[in-house]
Chains A and B, each alone.
Chain A
Amino acid sequence: MIDEKGQIAVDFLLGISLFLIALIFIVQFIPSLFLSGSAGESSLDYTAYRTAAILAEDTGWWGNSTSSGTAWEAHPDNVMRIGLAVDHEPESKLTNTPNLLSKDKIERFMMLNESDIIEKLGLYNNVDGAHFSYGYNISILQISQNNTPLILNNTPITLGEATPHDRETSKITRIVLVETGTIAYFDAEELPIDPNPPVKKSKTILNVTGPLSDDVKLYIDNFDITGTDPSFNKLVLDGTNLSENIDYTTYKIVNGTVLPLNSTGNFDNNSTVVFSLKSGLFNNFHTYQLEIEFKDVQFTNTASPFMDYTQELEVLCEPAYLTVEVWN
């Protein structure tokens, strides 16, 4: 091999064998790309879909050897299925109000242990009889608060782990109405003038019968405004002045928009004034008297029987997003 011509072909040989090796590698490698990608992924999309459907549209079910019903939140030991929809007829299996979530059920749902949730919602993969649970995150997000978790009883409603950023997840979002508490609506024209001295036309009184488990949410609208500075002065409960931001918070709603209102801010006759009082103030079996004093506002009703907060109670529902996110 003294003649060094023609060796150029060896380069070509080396090249083509490298190419062939790379080709074999790629052909073997590509199927495994698909395997890791789509199969597991599309399966999880529907796991999330089913879970969200069951949570938002079903009432859940409990049962033991003698009886059964949809009020599983009252029978946590015999839960057969978890569903959050409100049900007014506990004996029938279906709800007439899908997408309306019950506060009691959500609170009970938060207390269930992890293995129950995974088991009951089917958030696992069954490989030859062995269960491998998926990672999951189920949250109820407030649309009005930039999609932060809804807070019920001082607990943010979010279950499971935080969403991992380093892998693919399957997420489904449902729009729901959540019962967040109770409210009472009062028309300022119907509220009586406080007859206790010193009598002021701008002062009204309301009975609140304790004990209460939910915060008091008081909505007053249709004000009769008499001056240039209609505002709210103070709240007095059984003779004690309440302090703002500690015992209560207040705001106003104008055309569906929530605006801040403190004890010096103004409102007008289009505003609904809202007081939110801590339930802890009403712990005893006792009828509390709540005096509400305004400025440049007059109450006209002199008829005496005080209105009772607890008799005007209605459920307050907030629209929210229910998100279910599942990953491997």
Chain B
Amino acid sequence: MESLRKDTKGQWIALSGLVLSLIIIGLAALANQAAMAGYHSSNAALEFPKENIRELNLHTRDNAKIIKDLSFEINKTSNESIPDIYTQLFKNYSSQIEKLHAIHGETVDVSLVSINSTNGTYGINDIDIIFVNITYNDGRTHYESKPEVIEVGA
């Protein structure tokens, strides 16, 4: 140890080592910053829930038709009116879809506004447009479709 402390040769090497390391630290910081770029744009593309919102919307549209067909099936053996059956089924659907979204921390609300028929009766070919309210919220993105107009006519 003593010999090492007394040996004062090679100061230049020690100094240049210091300078070099400082320069390398600077360059590393720069490289790091450069690598950080590209983060925001991909972050936006990854985090914006485009597919989730679209899937909620399209699936609700599909469902409005499935529920229509199912209510006519049920109506054949039941004495409840078609709009009543439809409303019940739709409530059932929205509670399921809300629970399934809740696992992912998303608040979803799908509710039936009205069942419309141009001629006032509710036969299989009469119900043509369903109005539904859809909202979606994942904390950052808030989506509201009030009302979503769904054509369910044949």
- Taking a contact as CB atoms under 8 Å apart, the answer to whether A98 and B23 are in contact is no
A223 at the interface (CB under 8 A from B): no
Q: How far is the CA of A16 from the CA of B12 in the complex (A)?
A: 10
Counting residue pairs across A and B whose Cβ atoms lie within 8 Å, the total is 30
Contacts known (A30-B27, A96-B58); A49 close to B37, Cβ less than 8 A: no
B104 at the interface (CB under 8 A from A): no
B154 at the interface (CB under 8 A from A): no
Q: How far is the CA of A45 from the CA of B35 in the complex (A)?
A: 15
Q: How far is the CA of A27 from the CA of B30 in the complex (A)?
A: 11
Q: How far is the CA of A16 from the CA of B13 in the complex (A)?
A: 11
Partner of B30 from A16, A34, A42 at Cβ < 8 Å = A34
- Taking a contact as CB atoms under 8 Å apart, the answer to whether A38 and B34 are in contact is yes
Partner of A34 from B34, B42, B45, B151 at Cβ < 8 Å = B34
- Taking a contact as CB atoms under 8 Å apart, the answer to whether B41 and A42 are in contact is yes
Partner of B45 from A16, A30, A49 at Cβ < 8 Å = A49
- Taking a contact as CB atoms under 8 Å apart, the answer to whether B23 and A23 are in contact is yes
Partner of A38 from B23, B27, B37 at Cβ < 8 Å = B37
Q: How far is the CA of A34 from the CA of B30 in the complex (A)?
A: 9
Partner of B23 from A16, A27, A37, A49 at Cβ < 8 Å = A27
The size bracket of the interface on B is: 10 to 19
B16-57 CB mask vs A (1 if < 8 Å, else 0) is 000000010001001100110110011001000000001000
Chain B residues with CB under 8 Å of A96's CB are: 58, 61
Q: Smallest distance from the beta carbon of B22 to chain A beta carbons, Å? A: 12
- Taking a contact as CB atoms under 8 Å apart, the answer to whether A98 and B54 are in contact is yes
Chain B residues with CB under 8 Å of A46's CB are: 41-42, 45
| A46 closest partner in B (C-beta) | B41
A25-65 CB mask vs B (1 if < 8 Å, else 0) is 00100110010011100100110010000000000000000
Chain A residues with CB under 8 Å of B37's CB are: 38-39, 42
Chain A interface residue count, CB cutoff 8 Å, equals 16
Q: How far is the CA of A39 from the CA of B61 in the complex (A)?
A: 42
- Taking a contact as CB atoms under 8 Å apart, the answer to whether A42 and B38 are in contact is yes
Q: Smallest distance from the beta carbon of A30 to chain B beta carbons, Å? A: 6
- Taking a contact as CB atoms under 8 Å apart, the answer to whether B54 and A38 are in contact is no
Chain A residues with CB under 8 Å of B45's CB are: 46, 49
| A35 closest partner in B (C-beta) | B34
| A31 closest partner in B (C-beta) | B30
A10-32 CB mask vs B (1 if < 8 Å, else 0) is 00000010000001000100110
Q: How far is the CA of A89 from the CA of B23 in the complex (A)?
A: 62
Q: How far is the CA of A58 from the CA of B17 in the complex (A)?
A: 59
Q: How far is the CA of A89 from the CA of B153 in the complex (A)?
A: 13
Q: Smallest distance from the beta carbon of B104 to chain A beta carbons, Å? A: 21
| B61 closest partner in A (C-beta) | A96
Chain B residues with CB under 8 Å of A89's CB are: 151
A108-136 CB mask vs B (1 if < 8 Å, else 0) is 00000000000000000000000000000
Q: How far is the CA of A209 from the CA of B119 in the complex (A)?
A: 38
Chain A residues with CB under 8 Å of B23's CB are: 23, 27
Q: How far is the CA of A27 from the CA of B27 in the complex (A)?
A: 8
B residues 47-81 near A (Cβ < 8 Å) are 54, 58, 61
Chain A residues with CB under 8 Å of B27's CB are: 27, 30
Taking A37-B34, A42-B41 as known contacts, 10 extra A-B pairs with beta carbons closer than 8 A to each other, sorted by chain A number, are A16-B12, A30-B27, A30-B30, A31-B30, A34-B31, A38-B37, A39-B37, A42-B37, A49-B45, A89-B151
| Nearest 5 CB-CB pairings of A with B | A42-B38, A34-B34, A46-B41, A38-B34, A30-B27
Can you report 23 A-B residue pairs in the complex whose CB atoms are below 8 A from each other?
A16-B12, A23-B23, A27-B23, A27-B27, A30-B27, A30-B30, A34-B31, A34-B34, A37-B34, A38-B34, A38-B35, A38-B38, A39-B37, A42-B37, A42-B38, A45-B41, A45-B42, A46-B41, A46-B45, A49-B45, A89-B151, A96-B58, A96-B61
